[in-house]
Chain A
Amino acid sequence: MMSLSFDPATVDLPLRHHIGGEFVAADAGIEVRRPSDGAVHGACPVADATIVDRAVEAAREALRQSGWASARPRERVRALHAWADLIMREAERLGRLESVASTRPIAQSITGDVAITAEQIRFFAEFADKEGGDLVPTAADKLGFVQDEPHGVVGAITPWNFPVSMAGWKLGPALAAGNAVVLKPSEMTPHSALMLAELAVKAGLPKGLVNIVLGDGATTGSAITGHPGIAKVSFTGSTAAGAAIMANVARTGIKPMTLELGGKSPQMVFGDADPELAAECVARGILANAGQVCVAGSRLLVEAPVADEIVDRIRKRFGEIAAGPTWHESTNYSPIVSERQLARIDMIVTAAKEHGAEVLTGGSRIDRPGYFYQPTLLANIDEHSPAVTEEIFGPVLSVQRFDTEEEAVGLANRSSYGLCSGVYTRDLSRAMRMSRAMEAGTVWVNRYGRSMDHILPTGGFKGSGLGKDLGRQVYRENRRTKSVLIDL
């Protein structure tokens, strides 16, 4: 098999908006740096309100002209499957575009992220001719039913940690449900979304159904979420940014929102767990993408009698990483996305140390080009320390010990977030009790991470968000329901 490694200098895609099925030239804006070596790889334009307006208008026009929402649902399924097929045919090019300036190693982006994106689009497409409405019981001289329909134009904003699959999460269900989309990828990782739009046109999706506007949150993001022509907002990113979007929507005109936000997810290891399995899952839960994952399991809660053994195993696993540029096939440990993000991680770890936390391993940046940070284990840590309460979005795992189940539940739920939680136990009753007790939108037992079925909805409680991605639910969130009552 040919090596997946590539030379980043050979990867090029001009950074322009993609509106109405065409690339649209734009002035250079924010520098895009490669996290693997810090080199500048382009400049991301920043769409202002006028550009966003053009994109929304293009989307509305596409809906009007193409009949995307009113035509046979099977047509949407067919077109979306063709798009997914094309994505798979172009997996290598798309994977390189993904890996060049993001934190995603090429070995993971081609076979993982791109393949998942295509598969998710197929999965969402298949709802189009299967989800109907309800006919309701009323008196015989009346007919009552619930009719569902697309929102119209969906405004989507996606993060930099999994650029291509997050774009797929938003585009797939929105399009399957009959909407058009204006999507803003992160200004740090804009490349793969642009190519998705290009491939959509090639696959025969109506021009203007998928529009990509580049830019930052303050200018472009606000213009999207505040636009009166955007019927629904779907966002994945930080809790702070999500709150800003809610405020902007409240100010500019109420519309439905799906917000998939931050987390500070606990990993609870009980004494009766399989220690090898638990340690491996906990380690992977924080090493994946160097902790830059919303569902990262960043707080280890471990029952005291097994704590030393579990921590030792995790420390050993932390030593097995292979850090390197994202364009090398052998790399399995990601860089941090930016110098700024790296500095924030280091600041939180340093502050914890100053307040008495013990660094069991790691604790500083890796001495090599680019923005790499050591996998870090913090023990004896004050529970009010930002290292325990704030989402770090880096490879930092805090360790807290507990003696009783009740204490563990208290620690786990003592968080303003409620995205995920991991539970490791062999005991049936405890597994069922914990799955109820966790204040989190997802509970994983004896595993950590989503299955690749796409069928379980994902989304947080508390500060971790509103609404759900994935599953049947995301299709429904991309439709609105109308109650119809007819006197016969």
Chain B
Amino acid sequence: MKGLRDEDLFRQKGLIDGAWVSADSAATVDVTDPATGETIGSVPDMGAGETGRAIAAADRAFAEWRCRTNAERAERLFAWYGLMLEHEDDLAMILTCEQGKPLVEARGEIRYGASFVRWFAEEARRIGGGTIPSPTSDRRIVVLKQPVGVAAIVTPWNFPNAMITRKVAPALAAGCTVVIKPSEFTPFSALALGVLAERAGIPAGVINIVTGLPTAIGKELTSNPTVRKLSFTGSTKVGALLMEECAPTVKRLSLELGGNAPFIVFDDADIDLAVEGAMASKFRNGGQTCVCSNRILVQAGIHDAFVEKLAARVSALKVGRGTQEGVEIGPMINDAAVEKIRRHLDDALSKGAVRASVPVEVPDGPRYIAPQVLTKATTAMLLASEETFGPVAPIFKFTEEAEAIRIANATPYGLAAYFYTRDLARSWRVGEALEFGMVGLNTGIVSTEVAPFGGVKQSGLGREGAQCGIEEYLESKAFHIGGLG
């Protein structure tokens, strides 16, 4: 890849047991730049055989890695973290070329991704257990924390770096080893992390990366009994399928799935703060994040003023290639994504939605979608019940607080929700009533390594980040000691 300071970070091979390898069949999958459609490289199209060998390598490495002291594991993670920051520019460039997001956002993701490695390196020293008051005086009860074992890590294309570190860092800190299957759309960010892990002295086999189309690899990861844990970020549909496939071997699961985030603005909100929050939560990564607000609910009294301010901001957004200076919205990831957004737009406009923002100029190319604000959105529209995953901001008008809560909760998803109010009593009332795993009050950002991230209802199982992030990779063993005088 051109323009990298360290060309070695760009790898077109998988990583198994410390060796950079091709597919057994020598088949490859091309990876394209979504901005241009041009091929930027290819990765091996691996299958069950390579995946099985990667799992076996992880299992062999587990025996040694788990026995290292927490401090030793932490030291390797700190080294990895340092290398990520050192190579921030190159990692961001690789990310933008395969994913499309503006370079400034890509740099943000590298720092965000690295923050999980630092956090869990620190947390490694704090994996304790407990002593429990025994119900009889001749016994002691101790709870030991032990690593789960080999973990399969299956990650999406929208955060090609951070979705990996958020899973791999706690796994390694806990003493687990991993087999990573990155999205076939964005494998190079994962492989670059693999290069840096080697340089950081993380032993061969602790991190394995298998690339290619998902079906065969996924089947092996979910059915191989040596894999004790699967962590996946992606759609609810695929999450449910993986859950089903993992059932026969009863694997532990962390699933971070789809959302349909409401963004509620009450009459008493600070309107400028709310507009700022809506921009951040709706348009980050071109609207392609699972916590992006999908439905903006605005109370009647503040509705027109809010729409006016938001439309002005959206009309001024700059769309273009992620590597261009000043670009705020890049291309969408692929043709299927573009098709879905257009379907949502056509459906909404045919059912009475009205464009409130000035049309934004977009470059030529099939993957660009102009960001826009729609008013008069209703719950009968597709964009009310499906995740649009694009830069379209539909606004629903409501009058009563209870109505807003009812609409917000009327979804099988429960990932993130946002609301804006200055009223103390309403803050708690609404915050408690929203059925979501993460709630932002007067903020449009809920992602940080220090807070638990994850959903309720069909948005998933388990939490990432924070102290609880490492629990996902630990088992509790109750150790009963009897016969003590």
The 28 sampled A-B contact pairs (Cβ below 8 Å) are A67-B137, A70-B137, A71-B137, A72-B136, A72-B137, A73-B134, A73-B135, A74-B135, A129-B135, A130-B133, A131-B133, A133-B130, A134-B128, A134-B131, A135-B128, A135-B129, A136-B128, A137-B70, A137-B125, A138-B69, A140-B69, A425-B424, A426-B425, A428-B421, A428-B427, A429-B422, A429-B442, A446-B424
Distance to closest chain A CB from B240 (angstroms): 36
- Assembly CA distance A70 to B134 (angstroms): 10
- Contact call B67/A137, Cβ cutoff below 8 A: no
B423 is an interface residue with CB less than 8 A from chain A: yes
> Which residue on chain A has the smallest CB distance to residue B127?
A137
Distance to closest chain A CB from B351 (angstroms): 36
Interface size on B, residues (CB 8 A): 29
Contacts of B142 in A (CB 8 A): 135, 145
Given A136-B128, A139-B69, is A445 in contact with B133 using a C-beta cutoff of 8 Å? no
- Assembly CA distance A146 to B441 (angstroms): 39
Q: Which of A67, A133, A137 has the most CB of B within 10 A?
A: A137
Contacts of B424 in A (CB 8 A): 425-428, 431, 445-446
Distance to closest chain A CB from B365 (angstroms): 44
- Assembly CA distance A131 to B130 (angstroms): 10
- Contact call A129/B128, Cβ cutoff below 8 A: no
* B interface residues with partner A (beta carbon < 8 Å): 67, 69-70, 124-137, 142-145, 421-425, 427, 441-442
- Contact call B131/A132, Cβ cutoff below 8 A: yes
Contacts of B127 in A (CB 8 A): 137
- Assembly CA distance A425 to B427 (angstroms): 13
- The size class of the interface chain A forms with chain B is 20 to 34
Contacts of A73 in B (CB 8 A): 133-135
A296 is an interface residue with CB less than 8 A from chain B: no
- Assembly CA distance A139 to B89 (angstroms): 37
- Contact call A132/B128, Cβ cutoff below 8 A: no
Contacts of B132 in A (CB 8 A): 132
Contacts of B125 in A (CB 8 A): 137
A252 is an interface residue with CB less than 8 A from chain B: no
- Assembly CA distance A212 to B142 (angstroms): 38
- Assembly CA distance A130 to B70 (angstroms): 28
- Assembly CA distance A147 to B130 (angstroms): 10
Distance to closest chain A CB from B69 (angstroms): 5
A474 is an interface residue with CB less than 8 A from chain B: no
A378 is an interface residue with CB less than 8 A from chain B: no
Q: Which of A67, A70, A135, A138 contacts B131 (CB 8 A)?
A: A135
Given A140-B69, A428-B427, A429-B422, is A135 in contact with B143 using a C-beta cutoff of 8 Å? yes
- Assembly CA distance A129 to B70 (angstroms): 30
- Assembly CA distance A445 to B129 (angstroms): 37
Contacts of B421 in A (CB 8 A): 428
Distance to closest chain A CB from B475 (angstroms): 14
A128 is an interface residue with CB less than 8 A from chain B: yes
A 400-443 to B, binary, CB cutoff 8 A, 1 in contact else 0? 00000000000000000000000001111101000000000000
Going nearest first, the 4 A-B pairs with the smallest beta carbon separation are: A135-B129, A133-B131, A132-B132, A73-B133
> Which residue on chain B has the smallest CB distance to residue A178?
B133
